[in-house]
Chains A and B, each alone.
Chain A
Amino acid sequence: MIAGSRDLIGLSRDFWLGLGCAAAGVAGLVLIRLQVGALTTPGSLLPLFGALACILVGLGMSVQEFRRPLSESDTETAQETETDFARWRFALIVALVFAIGFVTKYVGLLVAAVLVQLSLFLLMSKTSPIRALIVTGATVAGLYTAISIVLGVQIPVGTLWAGLI
C-alpha cells in the first residue's frame, strides 16, 4: 500500500497512524503510572511530555485526515509492487533476523552472523549458494579478525557450545 492511500472505508493510513499513536500515548501514560509513580512526580515529567505529545498529535492527525476531502491520488488503486510471495518472503526474513538475534546467546555471535547472512542470501535468491558461502565466510572471518584479534573484544561462543569447548 502507498502512503496516503485510502482503505476500504475511505480513511487514510495516516488516520489509523494517528489513532495508533494516541493509543500508544495512552498506554504510555498507564506505563508511567505503573512504573514511575504519580504523573505529578518530577520523574514523570519527561515521559509525560512524550506520551502527551503522542496523544495530542495523534488525535490531531486523525481529525485532520478524517476531515480531509478525498483527492485523486487517494482514490487511485494502490500500485502493488509486491507479490504475495515477496511479501511473505520479506516477513520471513524479518522474523528470521529477529529470531537469530534472540538465539545469539545460545549459538554465539559468530554462528549467529553466519546464520543471518546465509538466510538472507538464500531467501533473497539473488546469489548462488556457493557465492553466498564464500561471501559469508569472508565477512565473518574479516569481522572476527577486526573485532576480536585487532580490537581485543571477546566474542561470546554461546552457551550451547560452551560445554563442548
Chain B
Amino acid sequence: MLETDFLTILPGAFANAFQLSNLFGAAVGILVGVTLGAMPGLSGTMAIALMIPLTFHWSPLFSVAILMGCWKGSVYGGSISGILLNTPGTPEAAPTALDGYPLAQQGKAYKALVLALVASVIGALISDILLLVAAPPISQVAIRFGPVELTSLVAFALVIVAGTGSDSMLKGLIATGLGLFLAAVGLDPVDAQRRLTFSVLELDQGFELMAMMIGLLVLSEVFIQIRETLSEKNGKARVPVSIKRVGLTLAELKYCSGVIFKSSLIGSFCGALPGVGSITAAFLGYDHAKLSSKTPEKFGKGELKGVAAPEAANNAVCGTALIPMVTLGIPGSLSVAIIMGAFMIHGLAPGPMLMVDEPVFVYSLFVLLVVSDIFLLLIAWPLLPLAAMIVRIPVHYLLPVIVAFCFFGAYSTHQSLFDVQIMILFGILGFFLKLFGISAATLLIAYILGPMLEANLRLGLTLSHGDATAFFTRPISGAFLFLALITAIWIIWRQLNSGRKNTVDDPPAKAG
C-alpha cells in the first residue's frame, strides 16, 4: 500500500474504531475475557468460541472488537487464579503462578496482580505496534503469491501446526489428516458435485464451522471437566489468598522494565510464528528472565520478574498472531483460528487481499487492538479487589450453564437444529481426541486450511498442465516446501531426542 493511501485510510480507521459501539464491544470483550479467564477450567478459547454466535448478528468490527477483547482479557485473566489459587486459569498463566502464588502467600497478592496487569498491557501494546508495522509489507509480498506458492505455504503451515500442536508429530499428523478429510465434506468447490454428504442436504456446505468449533473446543472441555468433577471424592475446596491492597511502586516497575520489554519481544516473535502459541511464549519469557537474572535463586520464591516476564510474553502473542492471518490467511493458533472463523462468518476472507479490499476495516481493527490494551488496564485494575470472588465460583455451577450456551450458540448462527446435533457429535469426538492426546486445535486449523489447500493445489496443477514439479521448481514455493521439510525433520529429531532422554531417566523395567 502506498504511503498516501495509508494516510488517507488512517482518519477513517480512527473514526471507525472510536465509534461508541466498537469501544463498548472492546470493553465488554475485556470484561468477559478477564472473568472467564480467571475461572480455572474455562480457557480463553472457550470464551471466544462461546461469544462468536452472539456476535454473528452485529457488524464485523464490533464483533471482532468483542472477540479480540475477550482473548486479551482471558490471557491476563488466567494469571488471577494462578496468583491467588496457584491454579492457573489458562495454561499460558502456568509460569506466572510459579512466582505469583509465593508473592500472594507473602501478602503481596495485589502487588503481583497489578504487576501482571501492567506487564500484560505493555506486552500487548508492543505486539500491536509490531503488527501495525509488519503486516502491510508482508501483505504486499503475499499478494504476489500465485496458487502454487499458496499451496506450498499452506503445506508449510500444516507441518508446523501438526508438529507443535500435539506432544507427538504422529498424533499431530493424524489430527491434520482427519481435519483435511472432514474439510472435503460438502459440495466440490470446482464442479459442485456432492462429496461424502450421505445425501444429507444440510451437509452440502460442509460442517458448520461454528457448531464444529463449539463442539470440539467447548463441549468436549465441559465433558472433560465433568469427568474430573465426578472423580473428585470430596470436591476440592479452593481457598484463594486474601488480597491486601499493597500496590506496586514505581521502583519495582522500573526493576522489572527490562524483563518486560525483552519478554514482550519474545512473545511477539512467538506470536508471528504459526503453531507457537502463548504457552510457549510464557515459558520462554520466564526462562529468559531467570537465565538473565543475577539472582536466579530468587525465582520460584516470589520474584517480581517471574510474574512480569511470562505475563508480558503471553500477552505479546495476541497482536503479532494476527500477522499470518491478516496477511496470508493462515491461522497460527487456535484463538486466531476461531477469530478467523468469525471473519469468515461476516463475509471477510482473511488473506493477502484483505488489506487491499478492506483496508479501513483492517486498520480500524489495529487501532481497536491498541484501545483494547488500554481498556484492559482501565477495566481490570478496579476489579482486582473482586478477583478473589471470581475465582471462588465453583466450576460445577458453570458446566451445565455452558452446555446450555453451547446449544443456543450452535443453533443461533444459522438457526438450524441440525447444527446442534453436529455440535454434540463434535463434542464427543473432541472428548475422545483429548483422551488420546490428539489436538483438536490442529484438526480445526487443518479443517480451515483444507479448502484453501485444495483450491490452490487444483488451480496450481491446472496452470502447470498437471506438472506437479512446478511446486518444487518455482523458487518461493520450493523454499516453503524446503522449510516444511526442515521443520518436520527438526520437530521429529527433537521429539525422538526427548523420548530418548525420558527413556534414560526412566529405565526399562523389562524387555518388550
Instruction: Point out residues on A near B: beta carbons under 8 Å.
Output: 3, 10, 13-14, 17-18, 21, 25, 28, 31-32, 35-37, 42-43, 45-47, 49-54, 57-58, 60-61, 64, 67-75, 81-83, 86, 89-90, 93-94, 97-98, 101-102, 104-105, 109, 112-113, 116-118, 120-121, 124, 126-127, 132, 135-136, 139-140, 143, 146-147, 151-156
Task: Say whether A124 contacts B407, CB under 8 Å.
Answer: no
Contact of B506 among A72, A109, A132 (CB under 8 A): A72
Contact A21 B174 (CB under 8 A): yes
Tell me which residues across on chain A come within 8 A of B183, comparing CB atoms.
46, 50
Does A32 lie within 8 Å of B196, measured CB to CB?
yes
Shortest Cβ gap from B175 to chain A (Å): 10
Assembly CA distance A21 to B420 (angstroms): 26
Bound complex: CA A121 to CA B191 (Å):
49
Contact between chains at A90 and B454 (CB < 8 Å): no
Within the complex, what minimum Cβ distance (angstroms) separates B194 from chain A?
8
Q: Which among A47, A98, A121 is the interface contact of B181 at CB below 8 angstroms? A: A47
- Asked whether A143 and B405 contact (CB < 8 A) given A50-B180, A69-B508, A124-B230, the answer is yes
Measured CA separation A42–B192 after assembly (Å): 12
A109 to B185, CA, bound (A): 27
- A24 nearest in chain B by CB position: B178
> Using Cβ atoms and an 8 Å threshold, which residues of chain B touch A152?
57
CB neighbours (8 Å) of A58 from chain B are: 174
Shortest distance in angstroms between B183's beta carbon and chain A's nearest beta carbon? Answer: 6
Q: Which residues of chain B come closer than 8 Å to A57, judged between CB atoms? A: 170, 173-174, 177
Q: Is the CB of A151 within 8 A of B177?
A: no
The 6 closest A-B pairs by CB, nearest first: A53-B177, A50-B181, A50-B180, A47-B184, A120-B400, A101-B424
Provided the pairs A43-B195, A57-B173, A124-B226 are in contact, do residues A151 and B400 lie with their beta carbons within 8 angstroms?
Answer: no
Q: Which of A25, A75, A93, A109 contacts B408 (CB 8 A)?
A: A109
Return B46 CB to nearest CB of chain A, in Å.
16
Nearest CB in chain A to that of B185: its residue: A47
Query: Which residues of the partner chain B approach A10 to less than 8 Å between Cβ atoms?
Result: 512
Contact between B420 and A36 (Cβ–Cβ < 8 Å)? no
Smallest CB–CB gap between B391 and chain A, Å?
18
**Docked-complex contact A81 and B231, CB < 8 angstroms:** yes
**B401 neighbours in A (Cβ, 8 Å):** 117, 135, 139
Q: Is the CB of B396 within 8 A of A49?
A: no
**What A residues does B168 contact at CB under 8 A?**
61
Chain B residues in 8 Å Cβ range of A35: 194-198
Q: In the complex, which of the residues B401, B502, B507 has the most CB atoms of chain A within 10 Å of its own CB atom?
A: B401
Contact A90 B417 (CB under 8 A): no
User: B59 CB to closest chain A CB, in angstroms?
Assistant: 13
Q: Any chain A CB within 8 A of the CB of B11?
A: no
How far apart sit A86 and B453, CA to CA, in the bound complex (Å)?
44
CB neighbours of B510 from chain A (8 A)? 70, 75
Q: Interface of B with A (CB < 8 Å)?
A: 54, 57, 168, 170-171, 173-174, 176-184, 188, 190-191, 193-198, 219, 223, 226-227, 229-231, 235, 394, 396-397, 399-401, 403-405, 407-408, 411-412, 415, 417, 420-421, 423-424, 427-428, 431, 435-437, 450, 453-454, 457-458, 461, 502-503, 506-512
**Is the CB–CB distance between A126 and B512 below 8 Å?**
no
Residues of B within 8 A of A42 (CB): 190, 458, 461
B404 interface neighbour in A53, A61, A74, A139, Cβ under 8 Å: A139
A132 to B198, CA, bound (A): 40
B196 touches A47 (CB 8 A): yes
Q: How far does the alpha carbon of A10 sit from the alpha carbon of B229 in the complex, in Å? A: 31
Looking at the complex, which one of B231, B235, B396 makes contact with A82 (CB distance below 8 Å)?
Answer: B231
Chain B contacts for A121, CB-based, 8 A: 400
Contacts of A105 in B (CB 8 A): 417
In the bound complex, do residue A3 and residue B174 qualify as a contact, i.e. CB atoms below 8 Å apart?
A: no
Contact in complex: A50, B412 (CB < 8 Å) = no
> Once the chains are docked, how many angstroms separate the CA of A67 from the CA of B511?
11
Contacting pair B408 A126 (CB below 8 A) = no
In contact, A45 and B503 (Cβ under 8 angstroms): no
Known contacts: A94-B428, A98-B428, A153-B415. The answer to whether A113 contacts B174 by CB under 8 A is no
Which residues of the partner chain B approach A86 to less than 8 Å between Cβ atoms?
Answer: 227, 230-231
The residue that A54 contacts in the complex, of B181, B230, B417, with Cβ under 8 A, is B181
- Asked whether A47 and B191 contact (CB < 8 A) given A104-B407, A120-B400, A143-B408, the answer is no
Give bound CA distance, A155 to B408, whole Å: 9
Bound together, the chains give a CA A118 to CA B401 distance in angstroms of 10
Q: Are A73 and B506 in contact (CB under 8 A)?
A: yes
Contact sample, A vs B, 24 pairs, CB 8 Å cutoff: A3-B437, A36-B196, A43-B190, A43-B195, A49-B181, A50-B184, A51-B177, A51-B181, A52-B177, A72-B508, A75-B509, A94-B428, A109-B417, A113-B407, A117-B400, A120-B226, A124-B396, A124-B399, A132-B400, A139-B400, A139-B401, A143-B408, A147-B54, A156-B411
User: A25's contact among B177, B437, B453, B458, by CB below 8 Å, is which?
Assistant: B177
Bound Cα distance from A124 to B222, whole angstroms: 12
- B195, A47: Cβ atoms under 8 Å? yes
CB-based contact B195/A97 at 8 Å: no
Which residues does chain A contribute within 8 Å of B435, judged by CB atoms? 3
A18 to chain B, nearest CB (A): 8
Q: Check A98–B424 contact: CB distance below 8 A.
A: yes
CA distance A112 to B171 in the complex (A): 36
Chain B residues closer than 8 Å to A51, beta-carbon distance:
177, 181
Indicate if the CB atoms of A31 and B230 lie closer than 8 Å.
no
Given contacts A70-B510, A72-B509, A98-B428, contact A154 B415 (CB under 8 A): yes
Contacts of A113 in B (CB 8 A): 404, 407-408
Is A68 a contact partner of B404 (Cβ separation < 8 A)? Answer: no
Residue of B nearest to A114 (CB): B404
Contact: B397 with A127, CB < 8 Å? yes
Question: B508, A90: Cβ atoms under 8 Å?
Answer: no
Chain B nearest Cβ from A132, distance in angstroms: 8
A156's contact among B184, B417, B436, by CB below 8 Å, is which?
B417
